[in-house]
Amino acid sequence: MSVDRSVTFTGIHFENPFLLSSAPPTESESNITRAFEAGWGGVVTKTIGLHPVVNVYGAKAKFMRTTPEDANVSMKKRPGAALHSSWNWELISDKTLEWWAPRIRRIKEAFPNKVLIASIMAGSGNDKELKHWQELAETAQGEGADGLELNFSCPHMDRRDMGSNIGKDQGLCSVVTEAVKEVAKVPVWCKLTPATADIVVEAAACFRGGADAIVSSNTFPSIPLIDPETLEFEINVDGLVSSGGLGGPAILPLALAKMAQLTKAFPDRSFSGIGGISDFNQAASYFLLGCGTVQVCTAAMLDQAVGPNVIKRLLSGLDKFIEEHAKNGWKSVEDFRGIRRDRIVLQSEIRRPDSSEYYSGYETVEGYAAPQPEVAVRV
Ligand SMILES: Cc1cc2nc3c(=O)[nH]c(=O)nc-3n(C[C@H](O)[C@H](O)[C@H](O)COP(=O)(O)O)c2cc1C
């Protein structure tokens, strides 16, 4: 039985469901060209805005690693260390809309069958800012972008009406989505911040505004560790640091929890999953929870900047997974999408042991002392 890697997501045809997310791997024409040549089904451009952007001095992103010996999570390079996470305080693209416009057109002309989604961001405090969203949307789609991703999720924005501050406010989520939908001729995806109490609230607001899909997760708010010798943050400028974003393996279970909340609340809607994906095993969890596409950043940054080996692993992993389950009649992602969504239930619905086999909740596993036999207490 042959594998069909293609998916249709929010009406867009993808040759495969794997995208590079909005981040350094998609910050330039040459990167996106290399990514398409390597086999990615689509890209979401680095977020494009109208406000001038100046990044901090020095490194904008770093990687944290850990080892079995020190169990420390540190940016310091040590032999035998494994990747824990990425940490960044990079802002949106420092290139202007005028810089991006001809490049979007050229990329789409060169790769008509690949999908290019333009990530865009503006403020939301007044009508002028809402017009900025519309200007960005109209320009990107006019140049050939297949879809728009609204960045409601950048975790390091000081402005109260931008980035994850929009994603934390259901009113702003609706208003901005609606403003973009007024002019959009292509599908509109909203990328939400995971840093809210109940992401379902903001997703519902985006759907009310007309969103075609929700994308989750962006990076989680975090700060780097303090070096116990120098007493300096491992990344800082003049000794100072601000909250940045955590990505990579460390966020995988956290991002899956957010996604499960979303797909359970809106089983008939479209979701694109991000967070900690580096091969098909992780992508599979997102598909089984109900995602139609998935996106990758950290793993691609560490693999020749655009992830040529990552996409190879994702594609071969998908083929193998479908072939191994061919007995179920599966031929494509659609055949297994969402089939594990209903396994997530309330705690009270999980089976309990009867009292004879219940040792105060602890079993004799590594790390716990063996349960004490009951001793009669003499009074
Ligand atoms: C250095 C860096 C820059 C990023 N820039 C953006 C951005 O401009 N827009 C955006 O929506 N997400 C941005 N992200 C978030 C990623 O697209 C992605 O949501 C996040 O890293 C989680 O995916 P991962 O675990 O595969 O890294 C950035 C991430 C990193 C590490």
Q: Which of 190, 83, 187, 97 is nearest to 145 (CA)?
A: 187
Question: Would you mind telling me the total number of residues written for the chain in this entry?
Answer: 379
Q: pTM, whole model, 2 decimals? A: 0.94
- The strand pairing partners of 351, in sequence order, are none
Q: Which two structure tokens, joined as six digits, stand for 296?
A: 């990758």
Å from CA of 337 to ligand 1 middle? 24
- Enumerate residue ranges in the chain where pLDDT < 50: 379
Q: Whose CA is nearest to atom 29 of ligand 1?
A: 23
Å from CA of 83 to ligand 1 middle? 16
Catalytic residues: 154
- In angstroms, rounded to a whole number, what is the distance separating the alpha carbons of residues 22 and 272? 13
List, for residues 76-120, the tens digit of each pLDDT value.
Answer: 989 999 999 999 999 999 999 999 999 999 999 999 999 999 999
CB–CB of 312/280 below 8 Å? no
Ligand 1 site, CB within 6 A? 21-24, 46-47, 61, 86, 88, 90, 92, 119, 151, 153-154, 191, 218-219, 247-248, 251, 274-277, 296-299
Amino acid 354: pLDDT: 82
List, for residues 278-306, the tens digit of each pLDDT value.
Answer: 999 999 999 999 999 999 999 999 999 99
- The strand pairing partners of 152, in sequence order, are 192
Å from CA of 201 to ligand 1 middle? 22
Amino acid 362: pLDDT: 61
Amino acid 374: pLDDT: 61
Cα torsion angle, 257, 161, 177, 115, sign: negative
Amino acid 17: pLDDT: 98
Q: Which two structure tokens, joined as six digits, stand for 333?
A: 């992602």
Q: Determine which helix (DSSP H) or strand (DSSP E) holds 200, and give its type and residue range.
A: helix 199-208
Please classify residue 154 by burial: count the beta carbons closer than 10 Å to its beta carbon, then call 0-12 exposed, 13-18 middle and 19+ buried: buried
- In angstroms, rounded to a whole number, what is the distance separating the alpha carbons of residues 350 and 5? 35
CB–CB of 44/22 below 8 Å? yes
